[in-house]
Homo-oligomer: A and B are copies of this chain.
Amino acid sequence: MSTQIPRTALQLRSLVRRGGELEVSLAEVEVPEPAADEVLVRIEATPINPSDLGLLFGAADLGQAKFSGSASRPVVTAPVPQKFMKAMAGRLDESMPVGNEGAGVVVKAGASPGAQALLGKTVAIIGGAMYAQYRSIKAEQCLRLPDDATPAEGASCFVNPLTALGMVETMKREGHSALVHTAAASNLGQMLNRICIQDKVALVNIVRKPEQADLLKTQGATFVCSTESPNFMAELTDALVATGATIAFDAIGGGKLAGQILTCMEAALNRTAKEYSRYGSTTHKQVYLYGMLDTSPTEFARSFGMGWGMGGWLLFPFLQKVGLAAAQKLRERVAAELKTTFASHYSKEVSLAGALQADAIAAYGKRATGVKYLINPSA
C-alpha cells in the first residue's frame, strides 16, 4: 500500500443529457489538496445503497442500457423515458459525482491539529462523491473507526445504522410503542431486528419469501409475516394485535403493501374496540415510505378510518429535526457496536470499473434483498 498520492484519480460520474440520455462513466479528476481543517481520504470501501441508485441511474431504463468504453474506463448509456424527464429537470447536463458514504485511510491532512490527528487512521465518512479514489472532507466530519476495523467494516457506518436507529427514535417521538418494517430481511432490516431485540422494542418484520422469514427467525425475530402467505393479512393483523404496533417503515413504496398495513392496523385496533365508530379507530396509524424498491404507483383503498397518515421519511431531515446532540449520540452507538449490531454483509466487492459492468448492474440494480455490492475504488 503506497502512500504516493497521484495528481489525478478516478471519480464515477452520472450525467443526464437534455436529449434524454443517461451516461455513467469514470472521470479523471484532480486529487484535491486538503485545506487546513480537511483530510484527504483514500476511499477503500463504499457501498451501493438503494439510496444511491436514484442519483446513479436517474430514471433511465436500464433494460436498454448500452455498454462501451474500455475495460478500465467503461461507459454505460441508457435512455430516460420521456415521462420521467420532468423529474430530472434539476440535474440536466450536469455531470454529477455519486456515492453517499464510504470508508478509507487518511493519506494527507491539513495543518490543523484535528486534521493531523487523523493521518494514517481509518475513517468513515458521508457526504456524497464517495465513488472515487480520493475524497477530501472536513476532519470533524470523519468518524474515526476502532483500530481493528477495516474500511469494509466501516463502509456502511451511516446510512443503514442511522436509518435503523432513526426509525426506533421516530417511533418513540411520535408516541408509538412498537413498529412494523418491510423488506425486513435486508441489511437494514437485520440491523433493525438486532436493535429492537437489544432495546426490547416489539418489531413486526414483513418479508416476501419463506427463506427470508427463516433467516430473521434464526436471528431472534419474534414476529415475521410473509406477503406470499395466503393468510398474510390475517397473520399481520395477529402480529399487530400482539405488539400494538401503529407505525410502519416501508422500503417498498409501490403497490398495495403500505395500504394493507394500515388496513391490518385498523383491524387490530377494532378487535379491541368497545363501540362502533363510523370514522374508524381514533388511534393514529402511520406508514412512512422511506424507500422505493417498487417504483410502481402506490395504491390503497382507505379501508382504515380517518386516523391515518402516509408520508416520506428520509434520514437527513430526521437528523436535522432531532438536532446535533441527539444525532451525535446515535453515531457514537454505531461506532461502539460496529462489528455486532451494525455489521453489514456484502455479496460482492468490485472496483469502480467493475461497478459499471453489465452483470454487476443487472445484479445490484434489481434492489433485491441480500444482494449488496461494495465498491473498492482503490482496488
Contact = CB atoms under 8 A, between A and B. Distances in A.
Interface of A: 54-55, 86-87, 89-91, 94, 96, 253-254, 259, 267, 270, 273, 275-279, 282, 289-290, 292, 297-303, 305-314, 316-317
**Copies of this subunit:** 2
B317 A270 contact: no
A312 B308 contact: yes
Contact of A302 (B276, B289, B303): B289
Contact of A298 (B96, B254, B279, B300): B300
Given A298-B299, A307-B312, A278 B55 contact: yes
Nearest to A317: B282
A90 B277 contact: yes
Q: Closest 6 A-B residue pairs measured CB to CB? A: A90-B276, A306-B312, A309-B311, A306-B314, A91-B276, A55-B278
Q: Which among A259, A275, A306, A317 has the highest number of chain B CB atoms within 10 Å?
A: A306
A294 to B, nearest CB: 10
Given A267-B86, A297-B299, A310 B307 contact: no
**Secondary structure class of chain A's binding surface, majority of residues:** mixed
Nearest to A55: B278
A316 B307 CA distance: 11
B54 A278 contact: yes
Contacts of A316: 279
Contacts of A297: 259, 299-302
8 contacts: A87-B303, A90-B273, A94-B276, A279-B316, A282-B317, A290-B306, A306-B313, A309-B311
A85 to B, nearest CB: 12
A365 B130 CA distance: 59
A233 B304 CA distance: 29
A9 to B, nearest CB: 24
B307 A308 contact: no
A270 B89 contact: yes
Nearest to A96: B276
Contacts of A278: 54-55, 91
Contacts of A276: 90-91, 94, 96
A279 B314 CA distance: 9
A306 B291 CA distance: 9
Nearest to A312: B306
Nearest to A295: B302
